[in-house]
Structure 1
Amino acid sequence: MSEMRAALYDSYGPPEVLYEGSVPKPVADPGEVVVRVHAASVNGGELAGRAGKVRLVTEIVGRGFPKRTGMDFAGEIADPGSPDSGLAVGDRVWGLLPRSRMFGSAAEFVAVPPHRLALAPSGLDLVQAAALPAVGTTAITALRDKARVTAGDRLLVRGASGGVGSVAVQLGKVYGAHVTALAGGRNLDFVRSLGADDAFDYATTSAADLGPFDVVLDTVGTQLRTYRRLLAPEGRMVAIAFDARNPAASVSYLLASTVFGSRRVRFFSGNPTRRLFAELTRLTESGAVRPVVDTVYPLADIAAAHRALEQGGSRGKHVIQIL
């Protein structure tokens, strides 16, 4: 069996446990296609997996050591599998690994079911495109499906300069909302350039001075109680992150918030299908959403990419270029 390059780690730990190694090249099982990966992005779930913070999941669902990293990808079809896939060799695609495989897109090839990908936007470089699959589908699900943002809504995006936040600011404007962005002081002009109507430094702005809002999108995971209080009557809050320092408290509050009925805190685990990826492609091709890339790293520098995301303050995504 031929080998391929992939990002690996032999034990849980800090970013330095990551390295570029070799693993068997995947072969498409029935109902799968093989994608030659041009690039993948770094997502928060991978940091938690590598650090051993979600061992219950990675030990049951994932592989044994050496473990892999990477969730989303952009590339070209290398093996279209069954004719029913509707794909051909060379088709440019983007997508996300299935939950059953969890991590492993930071590699030269991946095998995935065709419903976990769609044709990538025409005219967009695949390295740039790799910044969008995970965060773009998450933002669409959060704002369109969970919060049901409509024209005229007052939307607060917390963590607006990051991966999901930078897309959510753009989507909020697409859906006709008045967008208020919370970000670091050095990123205020940046989030305004994405379309934010108002932008505030989270370090110097008290939550009590904000609101009310019809929708709050929280990508940070801390102070959920404080920011839920900013909701107007019938307001909706969606959280996509746990407090890394105390995840149990976050889960407890999410469950307890159900007593607030429609004003509860909604949380979800993204599981996008081809239709959702196709919608992201449409939004990108129309110019409504654009990828935001902070830094591009070669596969050999996977540890540096993880470290950069952990340090915070990113503008958009850190991308791993493989091809």
Structure 2
Amino acid sequence: MPSTSMRFAAFDRYGPTDVLYETTGPLPPVGPGEVLVRVRAVSVNSAELALRSGAMRPFSGRRFPKRLGTDLVGEIVDPGASRFAAGDHVWGMFGRRMGSAAEYVAVSADRLDHVPDGLDSVQAASLIIGSTAITALRDKAALAPGERLLVRGATGGVGFVAVQFGKTLGAHVTGLAGAKNLDLVRELGADEAIDYRAPGELGRFDVILDTAGTDLPAFHRLLTPRGRLVEIAFNPDRLLATVGYALLHSRRRTRPIRFFSGNPHSPLIAELGRLVRTGELRPQVDRVFPLAQIAEAHRALELGGVQGKIVVKI
């Protein structure tokens, strides 16, 4: 059994990356329906950057300290009454809260599934947030074979999965990314790889998956009359204006905007695992940092131009 204390990442005020630190505290209590997991790796996601910077202050409040981490990969320590056994290699999401960037977490068993054979913890951590791409393209956009898909941020943490999954669904995929990442966009299977700084005339698209959150009206105009835009990121500097524009168009029958934040449960995570086992999805790790360098991990994501996921190994 683990000791009575553990390490975790936290911050005591909103601000730049240097507000982050590693600290220690007691192991979490395990509630009904939960399991105790020894965490081996988590990914760094844009929502955490927005939380830490204070961009989400109207929703996150001023109670500190706050913790980080939305996904996790690790081993079951205490399975409780779940379907898991001690030692099982699992991956999943922490739910609509943060705190998985820690040595141990108590998490609902229905938010976990077994990691596919052949994936180590770091590789798995690079993929788990990709469940968002499955929901976005299959469920929210109903992407059909032969349709034209545009992925903004095609080598980012959700984008690199969206490019692959778009091809699995039979779409013609165009990926927008920085110039140095265009070869990777093609390796992921995109039919077209375009530098977002000099895109030229992009044409029209049946589905746009926006992972950037900027210039929403301009990209909305690129939709065909029956096109759908799925928004999974908002520009923190113009949050209210962007959300307002999205809400205005969310209920329209033509060119609707659909937005959501990922909150997967076991069946969706199992689907992600199936796509990995069949070779339709592959991991993409940009860089790996130890927990003690959580600030550096955030800084790397803020600098942009990532190729896959920034992963924190615990």
Answer yes or no: same fold by TM over 0.5: yes
C-alpha contact (below 8 Å) 2:225/2:254 kept by paired residues: no
Map of 1:89 onto structure 2? 86
User: In structure 1, what is the Cα distance between the partners aligned to 2:234 and 2:4?
Assistant: 40
Specify which of 225, 231, 253 is matched with residue 217 of structure 2: 225
Map of 2:161 onto structure 1? 167
Specify which of 291, 300, 323 is matched with residue 283 of structure 2: 291
User: In structure 2, what is the Cα distance between the partners aligned to 1:253 and 1:131?
Assistant: 31
Map of 2:42 onto structure 1? 40
> Is 1:29 equivalent to 2:23 in the alignment?
no
Secondary structure at 1:261 match in 2: coil
Map of 1:16 onto structure 2? 18
227-236 or 272-281, which deviates more: 227-236
Q: Spell out, residue by residue over 1:108-132, the C-alpha distance to the aligned partner (whole angstroms, 9 max, x if none).
A: 0110111111111111111111112
> Is 1:119 equivalent to 2:95 in the alignment?
no
Equivalences for residues 22-171 of structure 1 within 5 A: 22-59=24-61, 64-82=63-81, 85-99=82-96, 102-134=97-129, 136-171=130-165
Shift of residue 291 of structure 1?
A: 1.3
Shift of residue 65 of structure 1?
A: 2.3
User: In structure 1, what is the Cα distance between the partners aligned to 2:218 and 2:59?
Assistant: 30
Q: Spell out, residue by residue over 1:123-178, the C-alpha distance to the aligned partner (whole angstroms, 9 max, x if none).
A: 111111111212x1110000000011111111111111111111100001110111
C-alpha contact (below 8 Å) 2:20/2:294 kept by paired residues: yes
Equivalences for residues 233-312 of structure 1 within 5 A: 233-258=225-250, 260-312=252-304
C-alpha contact (below 8 Å) 2:95/2:111 kept by paired residues: yes
For 2:170, give the aligned amino acid. Answer: G
Map of 1:182 onto structure 2? 176
Shift of residue 260 of structure 1?
A: 3.9
Q: Spell out, residue by residue over 1:164-194, the C-alpha distance to the aligned partner (whole angstroms, 9 max, x if none).
A: 1111000011101110011101111111000
C-alpha contact (below 8 Å) 2:7/2:102 kept by paired residues: yes
Shift of residue 58 of structure 1?
A: 2.5
Calculate the TM-score normalised by the size of structure 1.
Answer: 0.94
C-alpha contact (below 8 Å) 2:128/2:269 kept by paired residues: yes
Map of 1:193 onto structure 2? 187
Q: Spell out, residue by residue over 1:82-121, the C-alpha distance to the aligned partner (whole angstroms, 9 max, x if none).
A: 1xx111001110001122xx11111101101111111111
Calculate the TM-score normalised by the size of structure 2.
Answer: 0.96
Aligned length: 312
Map of 2:307 onto structure 1? 315
Q: Spell out, residue by residue over 1:241-272, the C-alpha distance to the aligned partner (whole angstroms, 9 max, x if none).
A: 11122111101100121464241111012221
Q: Which stretches in structure 2 are left out of the alignment for 5+ residues?
A: none
Secondary structure at 2:206 match in 1: strand
Shift of residue 240 of structure 1?
A: 0.6
Secondary structure at 1:257 match in 2: helix
User: In structure 1, what is the Cα distance between the partners aligned to 2:197 and 2:7?
Assistant: 41
Secondary structure at 2:76 match in 1: strand
For 2:90, give the aligned amino acid. Answer: V
Secondary structure at 1:151 match in 2: coil
Secondary structure at 2:87 match in 1: coil
Map of 2:207 onto structure 1? 215
User: In structure 2, what is the Cα distance between the partners aligned to 1:49 and 1:124?
Assistant: 30
**Quick one: percent identity of the two aligned structures?**
58
Secondary structure at 1:320 match in 2: strand
User: In structure 2, what is the Cα distance between the partners aligned to 1:258 and 1:289?
Assistant: 30
Secondary structure at 2:31 match in 1: coil
> Is 1:204 equivalent to 2:198 in the alignment?
yes
User: In structure 1, what is the Cα distance between the partners aligned to 2:144 and 2:48?
Assistant: 32
Secondary structure at 2:30 match in 1: coil
For 2:83, give the aligned amino acid. Answer: G
User: In structure 1, what is the Cα distance between the partners aligned to 2:72 and 2:127?
Assistant: 9
